[in-house]
Amino acid sequence: MIRLLEITNHAVFWYYLASNIAYLVMLLVALRTSAMHQRHLESHGLRWIRDTPLAPPISIITPAHNEEASIRIAVGNLLQLDYPELEVIVVNDGSEDRTLEEMREEFHLRPVRAVYVAEMKSASVRGLYRSSANPRLLVVDKEPGGSKADAVNAGLNMATSPYVCIVDSDSVLERDALLRIMLPVLADPQGVVAVGGIIRVLNGSEIAKGQLRRVRLPRKSIEVIQVIEYLRAFLIGREAWGQGNMLTIISGAFGVFRTDLVRAVGGYRANAIGEDFDLVARMHRHLRQKKVDYRIHFVPDPMCWTEVPSDLKSLGRQRARWQKGLWDVLWSSRDMLFRKRYGRIGWIALPYLWLFELAAPVVEIAGLGTIVLAAALGVLSRGFFLQFLLFGYAFATVISIGSVLQEEVTYKRYNDWQDVARLVSYCFLEHFPYRQMHMVWRLRGMWQYLRGDNTWESLKRKGLESASVP
């Protein structure tokens, strides 16, 4: 029994160490990539992108289900984006509140007759509306499809541009976000098939006339910790994976895709739990099988600000759903593992997700249990415990602090020194006790997936109206 505890504890130690070393490598890669991106942006300039006739048209697709508290601000924000040629398609996915009425009043919608070809499968469409105040706005009113993927597919059927941008209806883009995210496309229009932008936490900030007026750190602790999570996930994780052309997820809140490629893979899979991850995985599969030379980019500074859960119950539901989506996509992509035709996706990216993302809650919760049991039996080595704290807790905390400092050195969105000090101080709380709660939520998601419970539970949100100021 004691020997088994020793073996288990040392296995967990090496697991933590390997995971943190991987993140340290990604941090170093991300620092270098971020500096290269800044120099590249300075050499081109956004004015050239805005004025060039080579900038391809974009169709923004925004699915909306019961978004009456956010829809006016969200759609108004999209219509104010700085980009040469743009159409905005809002898909009202069978909302039971005043979502459609809010848009009708704000944007003066009128019914239009147009041919709707259901090339991508979705629930039936009830009506189409065009804004008389801004003809670039098209609203698709459809029956509820039960998923975001179903709503986006309806928008894809109406998109007329060579590129589509998927934006959540509870998010706000910075005015030049599209100009920035399209920079890799303009640099390599043949090779770049998709680009992901960074997602930042909106809670605590102020919105005026559909635009982000002031960036502030949230007041609630649970929201501040999510700021750190998002910084580490995007500024370290996705930037490093994108540099190696191994990006496996583009956030559903803000991403640009080549329209013909999305249609070639069949659009969004309607029953996918993690539809954003699922789409990118199927794009990798399709392009690798076709032996096409392609790139999927991540751009760290076209900012999309989104509302995150502000209570533990909603946050737990969200993280459980993310874990279900992770398992669903990894399982459906298991035949890509260690196959030569799928290159670094099958040999590096997917194995990493299996080992350090999907298995993490099981390994960590079980490992903590064995450490507690060893301590109770009096067989826990003091030297081992100190090493575990150093390479497990302290190492991970330093990486989180690194992501905060990278944000401040490069992008400087939090200008108040008190906000920066709070962010750094919360890095010490993220890995205890928040990390353990997070692992329990993810374990619950895995259990729900195993028993077939894939229902989409609603999250409690305040809406963008709550962040608006006169």
pLDDT digits (tens, 9 = 90+) for 322-346: 999 999 999 999 999 999 999 999 9
> pLDDT for 143-165, tens place per residue?
998 788 999 999 999 999 999 99
Average pLDDT over residues 94-120: 91
Provide the pLDDT for residue 230: 93
Domains and CATH numbers, the chain: 20-45+170-350+463-467 (3.90.550)
Percent of the chain with pLDDT over 90: 56
The span from the CA of 311 to the CA of 306, in Å, is 15
Average pLDDT over residues 416-442: 89
| Beta-carbon-side half-sphere exposure of residue 122 (alpha carbons within 13 Å) | 33
Average pLDDT, the chain: 88
Q: Is 80 exceeded by the pLDDT of residue 455? A: no
The span from the CA of 311 to the CA of 197, in Å, is 26
Provide the pLDDT for residue 146: 79
How big is the chain, counted in residues? 470
Q: Is 80 exceeded by the pLDDT of residue 420? A: yes
- Given a contact cutoff of 8 angstroms between Cβ atoms, the answer to whether 164 and 262 are in contact is yes
H-state helical runs in 148-247: 148-158, 177-181, 183-187, 221-231, 239-243
Provide the pLDDT for residue 302: 67
> pLDDT for 359-411, tens place per residue?
999 998 888 888 888 888 887 778 777 877 777 788 888 889 988 988 887 88
- Given a contact cutoff of 8 angstroms between Cβ atoms, the answer to whether 252 and 275 are in contact is yes
- Given a contact cutoff of 8 angstroms between Cβ atoms, the answer to whether 66 and 95 are in contact is yes
Q: Is 60 exceeded by the pLDDT of residue 469? A: no
The span from the CA of 437 to the CA of 429, in Å, is 12
Residue 49: pLDDT band with limits 50, 70, 90: low
- Residue 289 exposed, middle or buried by CB count within 10 Å (0-12, 13-18, 19+): exposed
> pLDDT for 458-468, tens place per residue?
667 676 755 66
Task: Out of 45-54, 258-267, 391-400, 431-440, pick the least confident.
Answer: 45-54
Average pLDDT over residues 307-315: 92
Q: Is 80 exceeded by the pLDDT of residue 77? A: yes
- Given a contact cutoff of 8 angstroms between Cβ atoms, the answer to whether 445 and 370 are in contact is no
> pLDDT for 158-217, tens place per residue?
999 999 999 998 899 999 999 989 989 988 999 999 999 999 999 989 888 778 888 889
At 298, which amino acid appears? F
Residue 47: pLDDT band with limits 50, 70, 90: low
Provide the pLDDT for residue 396: 85
Provide the pLDDT for residue 431: 80
- Given a contact cutoff of 8 angstroms between Cβ atoms, the answer to whether 115 and 234 are in contact is no
